[in-house]
Amino acid sequence: MPGSFFDTNVLVYLMLDDDAKAETAEKLIANGGTISVQVLNEIANVGRRKRQRSWAEVRALLGTLTELLHVEPLTTAIHVLGVGLSERYRIAVYDAMIVAAALSSGCDTLWSEDMQDGLFIEKQLVIRNPFRPA
């Protein structure tokens, strides 16, 4: 089941004042896709601590995302895969957990602003920066 997986840094623009990036994120999620519980947790953290949003605003965004996107649970298998990916591809552990969840859910594209654009992982998943100029 090929599809899109979203890193936190793409979705966090939905709460920022960057209209162009928010619009890009909205267009991407309109087509559906997948996130992990880790992404939901990170959005809640960024919303409260960095963006100083109210709990009501944070819950509203989390609710919208869980309605629009499939949520991949965190499992021990994803953790084990993520540790291996971190070592093999030399990516940060938390980023590797996002990659592992994307692989586990069968996605073929991981939308991320922070990870290496174009990196092809395990002959299945390519990382794409949706904000990179064409």
Nearest to 34 by CA among 81, 73, 84, 88: 73
**60-92 per-position pLDDT tens digit:** 999 999 999 999 999 999 999 999 999 999 999
Instruction: Identify the structural domains of the chain with CATH numbers, from first to last.
Output: 4-128 (3.40.50.1010)
Secondary structure of the chain: what % helix, strand, coil (to 5)?
Answer: 55, 15, 30
Looking at per-residue confidence, does 17 or 21 come out higher?
A: 21
DSSP 35: E
pLDDT > 90 in the chain, percent? 91
Looking at per-residue confidence, does 51 or 63 come out higher?
A: 63
d(CA 87, CA 106): 21
The dihedral formed by the CA atoms of 104, 110, 111 and 112, expressed in degrees to the nearest 10: 90
